Amino acid sequence: MDHDLVYVKKHPRPDNPEGVAYVVPAVGIRGKTTDKLIPHPFGNCSAEFSTLQDTIEAVHRAGYALEVDGQLYPLPDQKPVFRSVKPAAGRPATLFDTMVPVLVRMLDDNSPNVVSSAAYALGELKSTEALEPLFHCFAHEDGTVRKHVSEAMAKLGGQAEGAVRRALADKNYLVRLTAVATVAELVARDRALGLKLLEEARPLLADDNWIVRSQMAHLVGLAAHAVFSADADATA
């Protein structure tokens, strides 16, 4: 039987014994058997550990297996079982689908160029496996990365709706900024969904951060242009 995984991220921490911190993200983890988010083992906040061994023991105590840098650490009574990659709806599994796990791990690369390229590829593949990993990149410090991430998320269409909603209300302005950019992409790709999310994003016109306010005003202009141009074409 397949099992659920906690995907652990590593962040530089020079003061820690191994020079890194092992972080379990707060947004939730993905069920290997269900492809749905399952409850976070440490509540609504992220958990950080200073050594790999501490991380393994804590996650195992919570009842989950974990993956770090592509290495699986199953529960003591489990054998490592890897699922087949789930292709996008409407097409058979291909060579590209087998590359999805590798591309997802590349989203944690130290190079913004690598992260951008991985996000672009995942968007083209339209794999549901990419949804939460892309969401984790909404707060990336590199603007080009955030652009590619928003485009990739928009290519997932309705599957991304829940993640975009969460991002619009996030405390981190970069996450909100990327969410607004994603809505702009959705307006161009799926007007009905884009306009629906635009309505939910309306409060961001008065956001505390001027960059978010500016991006939001630009989004309103893009949406208006899309709607009025389509109406004009229809009546021509």
Element (DSSP H or E) covering residue 30: strand 29-30
Indicate whether this model's pTM tops 0.75: no
Rounded mean pLDDT, 6-33: 69
Taking domain 95-235, whether its CATH number is 1.25.10.10 is answered by yes
Parse the chain into domains and list their residue ranges.
5-73, 95-235
pLDDT in tens, 50-79: 888 888 887 777 777 777 776 777 777 654
Of residues 177, 183, 217, 218, the one with CA closest to residue 198: 183
Torsion sign across C-alpha atoms 145, 182, 44, 173: positive
Quick one: tokens of 34? 């269900």
- What does the pLDDT average to over 161-183? 93
Are the beta carbons of 116 and 148 closer than 8 angstroms? yes
Asked which of 57-66, 81-90, 170-179, 213-222 is least confident by mean pLDDT, the reply is 81-90
DSSP secondary structure letters along 119-136: HHHHHHHT-GGGHHHHHH
Dump pLDDT digits (tens) for 152-162. 999 998 888 99
